[in-house]
Amino acid sequence: MAIEWTEDARGIVVPLQVQPGGRKNEIRGEQAGALKISVTAKPENGKANEAVIELLAKELRLRKSQIHLLSGETSRQKRVLLAELSAADFESKLAIIFKL
């Protein structure tokens, strides 16, 4: 799995490929270097973005306040900052999610 995340002083920046209006909320894997996410919420009034943050918080065991949408508010391609998270912690969390 080759998710093209980067590390900065605040934490980890992760590209996302989001599918709003999906069948269920889940992290589906990797697509074109991004973490592929499906959420049931429709892309109306930020509902899908909120669902993405809630899903990431739950699956990565982070506080919602640690997840910041950096770009892509109205796009399927997004970038999020996972604050206060090291590269090693992020990789281990992904390994647990994908049972690697």
CATH of the domain at 65: 3.30.1200.10
- Average per-residue pLDDT for the chain: 94
| Spatial contact of 52 and 59, defined as CB atoms under 8 Å apart | no
User: Do the domain assignments include residue 88?
Assistant: no
**C-alpha–C-alpha distance, residues 92 and 68, integer Å:** 20
pTM (two decimals): 0.93
What pLDDT score does 100 carry?
Answer: 61
Query: What is the tens place of the pLDDT at every residue in 43-81?
Result: 999 999 999 999 999 999 999 999 999 999 999 999 999
For residue 55, give the amino acid letter: L
Total domains in the fold of the chain: 1
Q: How many Cα atoms sit within 13 Å of 8 on the Cβ side? A: 9
